[in-house]
Amino acid sequence: MTRPRIHLEQEGELMHKTTDLLPMQSAMAPMPDRRRWLALVVLLVAGFMDLLDVTIVNVALPTIQSDLNAPYADLEWVVSGYLLGFAAMLITGGRLGDLLGRKTILLVGLTLFTLASLACGIAPGPPWLIAARIAQGATAGLMIPQILAIMHVSFPAAERGKVLGIWGGVLGSASVAGLIVGGILVQANLFGWAWRPIFLVNVPVGMLAIPAAMVLVRQSRSATADRLDPLGTVLAIGAVLLLAYPLTEGRALGWPVWTFALMAAAGLVLAVFVAYERRRSATVGSPLVVLNLFRERSFSAGMAVWLLYWIALGGYFLVWTLYLQAGLGWTPLRAGLSASPFAIAAAAGAGTSVEVFVPRFGRRVLFAGAMINAAGFGLYLYLAAHYGPAVTSAQMFAPLAISGFGFGLFVAPTVDLILSGVPAHDAGSASGQLSTIQQIGMALGVALAGVFFFTQLDNTSAHGTTSAIPAIQQQLTNLDIPATAQDQILTQFRACVHDRSAATDPTAVPTSCQPAPGQPFSEPLRQALTKAGLAANAHNMSRSFAQTLWWAIGILIAVAAVVLALPHRLSGGPTAETSRPGSLALDAVP
């Protein structure tokens, strides 16, 4: 029989109901769930699956293209379809958990995510794979807000910092682990399935996680949000898609006018959404987004810092992956393993930030995290510019470890800062907003860094040809090619490198890279030009990567500056839950 809901009072204020209240530890607070740490393992597994799938597909794109005979535009949709579906469902998913039960929506999302992963793994062609990836992202958008919300309501305030520190470590390591796991699975070619195991690996994991979640995760929901907000849901999804779609597709299409029109329309729809939600809060109630949360300085300023930070990191991860694989020509496995220092250091930084450093240094920890991350990027910039294509994995260890540690120091306390003052009944909505801001920041970062990176690649293509020409001239001389013909070949070589650098589709072969009619290249000459082209591309990629890091460093310095504007008390509000030893509610050091 279902137990009746109990109203708990604390200091004269009505606390919020849940559907599965535990026996009261006292008149002030419910006893913590004894299974909460086992439940945390299930939540981390679910979150890891999602974060892994954001990046795991990147290393498999060449194999997917050859196996499915997919055009490059379809490959972009395999990546962006997941992000679009994910971003569109986050806020709605968070509120559905508040309304219908967070455990319920977690199980629905986890089940559908597992089925969508299976659909990705058995896709017979690009349209099927794209549709399955969109579904996979949307179902992940149902899961992720529940994970943060369940953490928020399941753990007492004294333990929440440690839990969010663990989550921060997972956040940092899972994205990088996607490159490692993807490289291993693609290179292993299990059962001759090529790229398919990168998706099918989620199926057995999901089949284990679903029954574990049913047993271990406690049900909770909001007692005040008692009805759906369908118009608000449509407006929110519309605003996110109007912004995310042109950001995702704009560069490949050459930024036509309609992409800017859609982004402007996103701003208008967002304004309508805010006006509607404000009116609904004052009349009907149960808004999709609780706008009052933004009245708390820690929540609104924390969201601004979070957005800026993920603009920098989203752009960095894009150009870093291009630099290692498309530039240096490293295998997916080598590129993924090179990311290990970042993942390990991120886990270490997240594990110590909230529990060890924040109680002593307050908001200075966020400042230090952003600046340490920037310092790591600065060292990476120097190495890429100094060594060019000759840089080694060992030389990358220090900048990646420094950047990762700064990442961990920043991410875990910021999540705690943003969510610490959120009432339990709004945990799902706040978690959905947090994840949505992260996705929008990453989309902005990818778009902006992509524009900057490829513009630099186009403008500095002469740098690569200058570096490669001495070697190709020697090769042409060894092949006994006359001086006049050499000049023609070198002119065509320069044009080819430039056109390759300017291309939006790296798989297409520009006309300038093909031999003139009636003048076919001999095999030795073709090999020499191919080798020189790869060398020129590596030099250009290294230079463009280094220059783009200046852009990321500038944003991280801006993040550090905004951190200094945060309130001295890093608390989201006056709720009793925010006052705990060692939490962000402590007075921070000015």
pLDDT digit string (tens) for the chain, length 590 residues: 333 333 333 333 333 333 333 333 333 445 667 788 999 999 998 888 887 887 788 778 878 888 898 887 788 788 878 878 887 888 788 888 888 889 999 999 999 999 999 999 999 999 999 999 999 999 998 998 888 888 878 888 778 777 877 877 776 677 677 777 887 888 888 888 889 999 999 999 999 999 999 999 988 887 665 677 888 888 988 888 888 788 777 777 778 899 999 999 999 999 999 999 889 888 877 777 778 878 777 788 888 899 999 999 888 887 887 888 888 988 877 887 888 898 889 888 887 887 788 888 888 899 999 999 999 999 999 999 999 899 999 999 999 999 999 998 998 888 877 777 677 667 767 777 887 788 788 878 877 887 788 888 878 778 778 888 888 888 888 888 888 888 888 888 888 888 887 776 666 778 878 776 666 667 788 888 888 888 888 888 899 999 999 999 999 999 999 888 776 555 433 343 433 333 343 333 32
User: What is the three-class DSSP state of 195?
Assistant: coil
How far, in Å, CA of 241 to CA of 273, rounded?
A: 14
Give me Rg for the CA atoms of the chain.
Answer: 26
DSSP, res 339: T
CA atoms within 13 A on the CB side of 383: 18
The answer to whether the beta carbons of residues 125 and 68 sit under 8 Å apart is: yes
pTM: predicted TM-score of the whole model, two decimal places:
0.78
As to burial, measured by CB atoms within 10 angstroms (0-12 exposed, 13-18 middle, 19+ buried), residue 532 is: buried
Amino acid at 451: V
